[in-house]
Amino acid sequence: MAFAALIFAAGGCHSESTKQQNATSENADSLLSAMNKAIAKNSDNDAAYISRADYYLSMNNVDSALRDILIAISIDHQNANHYITLSDAYLSAGNPDKCLDALDKALSLNPDSREALLKKAQLYLIMRDYKQSRATLTQLLDLDGINPQAYFIAAIGQLEQADTAAAIRSLQTAVDQDQEYFEAQLELGIIFATQKNPIAVSYLRNAIELRPRTIEPYYQLGLFFQENDKIESAISTYQNILDIAPEYVPALYNLGYIQLVYLNDFAKAADYFTQVTALAPQYTEAWYNRGYTYEQMGRYDMARTDYNTALEKTNNFQKAIEGLNRLDEK
């Protein structure tokens, strides 16, 4: 599943962000210290090593996690869950073959492990082995037909194989089984939006209700409104994004585009594009569109400057060349 949105940090929040980071670091240090003490107190406690390994994985310290997992396995080599954790570490290390071996070992110890089967289906999907992914999901769903994550994984595989109709059915099953499944609601919204189906609005609003501080569903909803000429709704939705993240470039850019193309409010368009070029100076289209806005305002010197900047960002950018040619004829 691909999400196009890119979150830019909001300005003026650096001191608060630093405080939060420091607090998080202090909590992490305290947690690690407690884990170390638990292991020192009882070095034969395999669960303690797994807990510390999970912590290391959350901190992207794969080597330390692997060491602890292997110690836990040496203490209890019949625990299938230890091999599932081992598979997580190998996946984080970018080693899918060892990840698969670990999952197979877990399943040899517990053939009905739903977690191991789900992770194995996910792994096959990552490896683009759709046949094995489907077979593993079938095995999982034979054990338990109520498994929304399994249907979601099936849907992603179907999307990657361009079977949109099957993907929709799988995602709708996932949502039927778990109405609070954010990713499934969002993906359905995105799919229906690409089809210009108004039902997209319902799914995207469901996703927003589930995670009101997550930008992606707002952005997809705003884009749907914009592409279907519901301009006021698009503006309102993009403004909702800026209430959460005032420096979110895609929303600022799209608001500028709406002001330029749909509303012909060139002053507002120029303001939005100026914000974008300040936040994302390599954004060629923003430089071009601000130049085009200035051209419409009769501010030809400023337009020329922006067209030239667009060409500096992207060699032979055709629209900027055409813009300069227009200015030469004025």
CATH code for the domain in which residue 308 is found: 1.25.40.10
Residue 116 lies in a domain: no
Per-position b or e across 138-173, b if 16+ CB within 10 A of its CB: ebbbeeeeebbbbbbbbbbbbbeeeeeeebbebbeb
259 and 324 housed in the same domain? yes
Q: Which of 138, 188, 176 is nearest to 130 (CA)?
A: 138
147 and 217 housed in the same domain? no
215 and 277 housed in the same domain? no
- Total domains in the chain come to 4
188 and 126 housed in the same domain? no
Among candidate residues 148, 163, 178, the one where a domain is terminated: 178
Residue 1 lies in a domain: no
Determine the pLDDT at residue 235: 99
Q: How many residues does the chain have?
A: 330
89 and 129 housed in the same domain? no
Distances (CA, A) of 232 to 28, 93, 138, 223, 263: 45, 47, 46, 12, 10
Using a 10 angstrom Cβ sphere, with 0-12 exposed, 13-18 middle and 19 or more buried, the burial of residue 58 is exposed
266 and 322 housed in the same domain? yes
Give the whole-angstrom CA distance, residue 39 versus residue 41: 5
Determine the pLDDT at residue 54: 96
For the four alpha carbons of 210, 213, 219 and 224, in that order, the dihedral sign comes to positive
What is the residue range of 207's domain? 179-227
Determine the pLDDT at residue 62: 98
265 and 329 housed in the same domain? yes
214 and 263 housed in the same domain? no
Determine the pLDDT at residue 317: 98
Among candidate residues 111, 139, 170, the one where a domain is terminated: 111
128 and 197 housed in the same domain? no
Side chain identity at residue 157, one-letter code: G
Residue 50 lies in a domain: yes
Determine the pLDDT at residue 325: 98
Q: Tens-digit pLDDT profile for the chain (330 aa)?
A: 332 332 222 233 333 344 344 445 668 888 998 999 999 999 999 999 999 999 999 999 999 999 999 999 999 999 999 999 999 999 999 999 999 999 999 999 999 999 999 999 999 999 999 999 999 999 999 999 999 999 999 999 999 999 999 999 999 999 999 999 999 999 999 999 999 999 999 999 999 999 999 999 999 999 999 999 999 999 999 999 999 999 999 999 999 999 999 999 999 999 999 999 999 999 999 999 999 999 999 999 999 999 999 999 999 999 999 999 999 998
Can you say whether residue 2 is alpha, beta or left, with left for phi > 0 and alpha for psi between -120 and 50 degrees? beta
Contact 57, 74 (CB under 8 A): no
Among candidate residues 57, 76, 111, the one where a domain is terminated: 111
Give the whole-angstrom CA distance, residue 288 versus residue 301: 14
148 and 78 housed in the same domain? no
Distances (CA, A) of 146 to 76, 122, 159, 177: 31, 17, 21, 7
Residue 241 lies in a domain: no
**Which residue's entry shows tokens 């990657």?**
160
214 and 280 housed in the same domain? no
Residue 221 lies in a domain: yes
Residue 209 lies in a domain: yes
Contact 160, 179 (CB under 8 A): no
Q: Which of 170, 245, 177, 237 is nearest to 208 (CA)?
A: 237
Residue 64 lies in a domain: yes
Residue 90 lies in a domain: yes
Determine the pLDDT at residue 30: 86
100 and 133 housed in the same domain? no
